[in-house]
Structure 1
Amino acid sequence: MKNILGLFAFSALLVSCSKPISAEELKNLNGYWEISEVKTADGDNKEFQSNNNVDFFELKDLKGTRSKVVPQFNGKNQTNGIKEHFTVVDSANATYLKYATDYAKWTEKVDKLSKDELVIINDNDIKYTYKRFTPIVVNE
């Protein structure tokens, strides 16, 4: 019983020590990101060496868009033109992206954000780890 109480107290301490992503760190969200790893709530893990699709984020004044793009070998990107709009919200010592489309509304927690790494946890407790996308350009 003491172990359970100790674990609960430690977990509460960890949660209370988390902090929202700073405005300066949020600038890192802009740009192209590719998924490098996905971890489900039950612990299943999948790593990705490369991706056909990349997420493109644009953020300005705590409002932004996210779109899927397909990188081309000439350095350009193709997109289907669909943009998911989101708002950045700080709540309960964490930073969230709140999305709203004509079809759905959902929230994702920004667990970590740096120049080279982005970690997002969705409503189903699935953790997506992204790395900054580096395009491959083939010269003819």
Structure 2
Amino acid sequence: MKNTFRILLLSLFFVGCQQKIQPTDIVKINGYWEIEKVVFDKGEDKDYKMNESYDYFEIANNKGIRKKVKPQLNGTFLVNDTDEKVNVRFDKDKVYLDYGTDYAKWSEELIALSDKELVLKNTENKEYHYKKTGPINLTGDGEKTK
């Protein structure tokens, strides 16, 4: 009985500590995000040590785009003309990013958002953990990157 009570109390603690994302927090999504790991629905993780591409978000007034970009060693990014339209949707206590292209539509739940962390969960219950990142400049020429 004691163990049941402890588990219940611990569960309530974690539910109570879950971040509530406010409309004013959405601006934190803007910028470059590098995936760190994927947590699958059965609890196993897949870590990403190095990424060839980042996700770039640009959202204003709950509408915007997400684009895949490839960082270059001189601090620039390779970018193509393909992007996904993004709409931010607030539904009860949850926040969703609704995506759309000419070929598909899908949604991800916004689980966590801070200046340095972004966690999204898709319909297959996979959690994508991102860290905020920026340009890479290994040329050592001292020039500022864009």
Tell me the TM-score normalized by structure 2: 0.81
Residues 100-123 of structure 1: CA deviation (Å, up to 9, x unaligned): 211111110000000000000011
* 1:36 paired residue number: 36
Residues 38-62 of structure 1: CA deviation (Å, up to 9, x unaligned): 0111222111122110000000100
SS in 2 for 1:25: helix
Taking the TM superposition and a 5 Å limit, the aligned residue runs for 1:1-140 are: 20-139=20-139
Letter matched to residue 33 of structure 2: W
* 2: CA distance, partners of 1:117 / 1:16: 20
Pick closer, same or farther for the CA change 1:20–1:89 going to 2, 3 Å.
farther
Query: Unmatched 5+ residue regions in structure 1?
Result: none
Letter matched to residue 105 of structure 2: K
* 2:144 paired residue number: none
Q: CA deviation at 1:79?
A: 1.7
RMSD over aligned CA atoms reads 2.5
Letter matched to residue 30 of structure 1: N
Letter matched to residue 56 of structure 1: Y
* 1: CA distance, partners of 2:96 / 2:73: 34
Residues 67-90 of structure 1: CA deviation (Å, up to 9, x unaligned): 000000111101222110011001
SS in 2 for 1:125: coil
Is the 2:111–2:119 contact (alpha carbons within 8 Å) kept by the matching residues of 1? yes
Is the 2:19–2:112 contact (alpha carbons within 8 Å) kept by the matching residues of 1? no
Where do 4+ consecutive residues of structure 1 move more than 2 Å?
A: 10-20
Sequence identity (%): 38
Q: How many residues end up aligned between the 2 structures?
A: 138
* 2: CA distance, partners of 1:109 / 1:27: 16
* 2: CA distance, partners of 1:106 / 1:16: 28
Letter matched to residue 122 of structure 1: N
* 1: CA distance, partners of 2:15 / 2:100: 27
* 2: CA distance, partners of 1:92 / 1:22: 12
Query: Unmatched 5+ residue regions in structure 2?
Result: 140-146
Q: CA deviation at 1:14?
A: 6.7
Is the 2:77–2:135 contact (alpha carbons within 8 Å) kept by the matching residues of 1? no
